[in-house]
Structure 1
Amino acid sequence: MDNRAGEMQVFLRVVETGSFSEAARLMRMAPSTVSKLVARIEARMGVRLLERSTRRLLLTAEGETYYERSQAVLAEIEEIERELSQGARAAGGTVRINASVALGTLGLEPLLPAFWRDCPNIVIDLSLSDEIVDLYLDRTDVAFRTGRLPDSRMNARHIGVAHRKIVAAPSYLQRHGTPQRAEDLSRHNCLGFNFRRADPVWPLTESGRIVDRTVSGALLANNGETVRRMALAGVGLARLGDYHAREDLEAGRLVEVLAGAVERDEEEINAVYLGGARMPQRVRTFLDFVVPRLRLFLAPQARADDTPEAPAT
């Protein structure tokens, strides 16, 4: 791994102490390691930085330049880290967020208490809706969107993938039977959605190809949480994201059906935001906190094995 900042620190300590052995003692390294590290810097740049004698070390002209520039670089790194660490805690203002009802309730809301412990001066203005909002017209800073992004130029951080499952309550299946093939859906009460982008079709795999099956039922809702609750009540079949139905499936309150037919039914989830490189510090702080944690929420295996990663873009 390239660690040039670390190399600079060692070189500065050698120059300041005038001794490989003293620099090694202060850096808790072996003297031979320090000597090899300086030699590696010189070999990489093709110049000699130090003139070595039995009694003292002298900087060459190139060594003086490298020493001065290294001081400036390391000071800049410290300043960046100090600004960011102070900025995250001192950042204030309002961050306006839009998320689907399911992702907001199950994934985002549980993160907020810890976020406020780290960032007590940021106000979260949270709206939950499965409709797609216009970030400009609705004055939204961050929107968590499911599905393909319509504009590749949008600023976005990828969160993960929602794998769709067809689920039903055991009581419904006891009364109406369990569908065995995609065509069986025509005889079932398939709960759907009424927002503009929703189609009354479920993409299913038949004979190795994806076919859109038109479905119908007694409910059209504007959010996935209503559909989930009606499925739990035994009203009909529901097509939900795996993270949305995860706890109900684990508890046996819902049962997955036609698992093989929906194996490629999935949608991307992204955090879409305004501002790009010039986004306000409060928005950047929010994204840096929630994005890695939402990634773990969507990937249960990763959540079991890891802790939240460092901020990523």
Structure 2
Amino acid sequence: MKARSDELQMFVSVIECGSISAAAEQGGQTPSAISRSLSRLEAKLGTTLINRTTRRMDLTEEGRFFFERAKAILQQMDELEERLSLHRQTPSGRLRINAAAPFMLHAIVPWVGEFRQLYPDIQLELNTDDLIIDLLEQSTDIAIRIGELADSSLHARSLGCSPLHVLASPAYLARRGTPRHVEELAGHSLLGFTQTETLNHWPLRHTEGDRLTIRPDLCASSGETLRHLALAGEGIACLSHFMTHEDLQAGRLQLVLAEANSGYRQPINAVYYRNSQLALRIQCFLDFIQHKLSIYAC
């Protein structure tokens, strides 16, 4: 008996998810159903693909061989499906998008419903990661990144830009006072990032230039965490407009030192491999999201 494409997809999903339970959750199945399917696949092939224990699972030599070729076969099937849809001029197939969690939550998720109505044959897969990833290793079609890009092996398409705001909650400002000059920030609780030092350079004009390097009193690795800390009145933060514009409109956050803001805007780029042909489903998404992002470029 020959392995079917759904069995290949199941096997690849187990390996990429890292466990049977995670693959079952992603595929909307039970772990026992996935385990039985995996056993049937191994029986068909007459070999053990994964050594499984209660705590871990490891690919056998045959499993590694099968995994790489199964991924290639599934990719070829996706490409074949896409070539057929190109012939019909109907974008379809799986579209894997990776972005930092704040951008995903505030700038992509609100538009997913409209995109799916426009392109019902595209199956979106949305993943979040605050760090730079290997697109090939993570099976990602598009990664959206905020800030300057350095990797020349990637092709980038600009999707626009987003201003940076220094802001705080009304409760914090009522309790600690509103700074009128940049130098007064030294007497305030400053919220900053833990990992990327450049994110702690605030776009504020002062005696030594247009960017102020701050030493955070409270740090977090995610902008979304810093947003919630600012909303909770824990201090002053510097965050992008795409994730705070609704808070500003609703009065949950207020601008601080707006007259000293140098006007720096963070670039927003979609990146993908330079040697890959831009698929129709990718082109449709980039055109769609670029139009939507124009509201954040004020």
TM range (shorter): 0.5 to 0.7
Q: Does the CA-based 8 Å contact 1:107-1:297 persist in structure 2?
A: no
TM-score by length of 1: 0.62
Aligned to 1:298: 296
**1:260 deviation in Å?**
2.3
Aligned to 2:137: 137
1:7-156 map, 5 Å: 86-87=88-89, 89=90, 91-151=91-151, 154-156=154-156
Secondary structure in structure 2 of the residue aligned to 1:205: coil
CA distance in 2, matches of 1:202, 1:175: 23
1:278 corresponds to 2:274: no
CA distance in 2, matches of 1:152, 1:259: 35
1:216-227 map, 5 Å: 216-218=216-218, 220-227=219-226
For residues 254-299 of structure 1, what are the alpha-carbon distances to aligned partners after superposition, in whole Å with 9 as ceiling and x for unaligned? 11011122223322111112255613333233223322222x2323
Secondary structure in structure 2 of the residue aligned to 1:253: coil
Aligned to 1:269: 268
Q: Does the CA-based 8 Å contact 1:205-1:260 persist in structure 2?
A: no
Identity %: 36
CA distance in 2, matches of 1:194, 1:145: 18
Q: Does the CA-based 8 Å contact 2:210-2:262 persist in structure 1?
A: no
Q: Does the CA-based 8 Å contact 1:204-1:262 persist in structure 2?
A: yes
Secondary structure in structure 2 of the residue aligned to 1:204: coil
**1:148 deviation in Å?**
1.2
- Structure 1 residues 290, 140: closer, same or farther in 2, change over 3 A? same
Secondary structure in structure 2 of the residue aligned to 1:157: strand
Q: What RMSD in Å do the two structures reach over aligned CA positions? A: 2.5
- Structure 1 residues 213, 195: closer, same or farther in 2, change over 3 A? closer
1:102-251 map, 5 Å: 102-151=102-151, 154-196=154-196, 200-207=200-207, 209-218=209-218, 220-251=219-250
- Structure 1 residues 265, 299: closer, same or farther in 2, change over 3 A? closer
TM-score by length of 2: 0.64
CA distance in 2, matches of 1:258, 1:85: 55
CA distance in 1, matches of 2:86, 2:163: 36
**1:196 deviation in Å?**
4.3
CA distance in 1, matches of 2:196, 2:164: 19
Secondary structure in structure 2 of the residue aligned to 1:120: coil
**1:164 deviation in Å?**
0.7
- Structure 1 residues 266, 299: closer, same or farther in 2, change over 3 A? closer
Secondary structure in structure 1 of the residue aligned to 2:235: coil
Secondary structure in structure 1 of the residue aligned to 2:140: coil
Residue type at the aligned position of 2:120: P
- Structure 1 residues 288, 163: closer, same or farther in 2, change over 3 A? closer
For residues 72-106 of structure 1, what are the alpha-carbon distances to aligned partners after superposition, in whole Å with 9 as ceiling and x for unaligned? xxxxxxxxxxx85833x3x3322111112222112
Give aligned pairs, total: 215
CA distance in 1, matches of 2:227, 2:126: 21
For residues 237-270 of structure 1, what are the alpha-carbon distances to aligned partners after superposition, in whole Å with 9 as ceiling and x for unaligned? 1101122211111111111011122223322111
Unaligned runs of 5+ in 2: 1-84
Residue type at the aligned position of 2:295: F
Secondary structure in structure 1 of the residue aligned to 2:229: helix
Aligned to 1:59: none
CA distance in 1, matches of 2:103, 2:87: 28
Q: Does the CA-based 8 Å contact 1:205-1:264 persist in structure 2?
A: no
The structure whose Rg is larger is 1
Secondary structure in structure 1 of the residue aligned to 2:126: strand
**1:235 deviation in Å?**
0.9
Secondary structure in structure 1 of the residue aligned to 2:96: strand
